[in-house]
Amino acid sequence: MQTMSPKSIEFSKYQGAGNDFIMLDNRDKRYSNLTTEEIAFMCNRHFGIGADGLITINKSCHYDFKMRYYNSDGKEGSMCGNGGRCVVMFAHHLEIIQDRTIFDAFDGVHEATVLNEDSIRLKMQDCLFPEKIDKTSYKIDTGSPHIVVFVKDVYKIDVLKQGKTLRYNNDIFENGANVNFCHIENNKVNIRTYERGVENETLACGTGSVAAAICVNYTNMLHLNKIKINALGGTLEVEFSKMDKYSNIFLSGLAEKTFEGMIELI
């Protein structure tokens, strides 16, 4: 019986407000043939490295690099805001970029700035006004589909149970959605998020933070165009302009390298 050779993976680990990601430098295409099962294994917190998702940096014909994002279930996902900020810091550490970049992602081209050695400001795509679902809930696409639910106290919500129910409601979004529970306190938004693809609560969600900030502004709960979001893993800031849609949307906050290493896949 022939023994298969191990596949050596050189990785870095980054986190943004507790949203954590495995980073792979794939500019030479060495990791292009990773399987869904292999990616899911690496993201597994018990048997692998552990992460909310995996991101590869790839060569781009027109921009500094191309970002590809995979959820922890191993399947390619849509745009990830905190992942986008972390991949910019990864590119900065690889010396692909200096303090500014333009890169390609699932939902199109993004600009970003390295504010300092642990913070990134990422420009998100323009988005349309939220749509009302019921008296406490809204739907919006901020690069990924989101449901925003306003509650009295996010810390008393069973996020796993209630989030899973809404996440699989295909009447709201055809392929399901991420679910954010929010309440306002001291002009800041407290948020907890159930993420599809992870199929669990995460410590933060970038596109979810953008969704929450826009819904808060759209409903006139806060008359601000720069809103702080308190996630379980840290604080993010969302700023934007509002006319016939939301534009000039920026997501800012911590993005840092936590460790690096090698893993062998059999």
* Catalytic (active-site) positions: 80, 205
| 13 contacts 49 by C-beta, under 8 angstroms | yes
How far from 114 is each of 14, 38, 103, 107, CA to CA, in Å? 15, 31, 13, 21
Helices (H), the chain: 36-43, 81-93, 159-167, 206-218
User: In the 8-state DSSP scheme, what is residue 155?
Assistant: G
Query: CA nearest 44: which of 35, 53, 34?
Result: 53
Helices (H), ranges, 155-199: 159-167
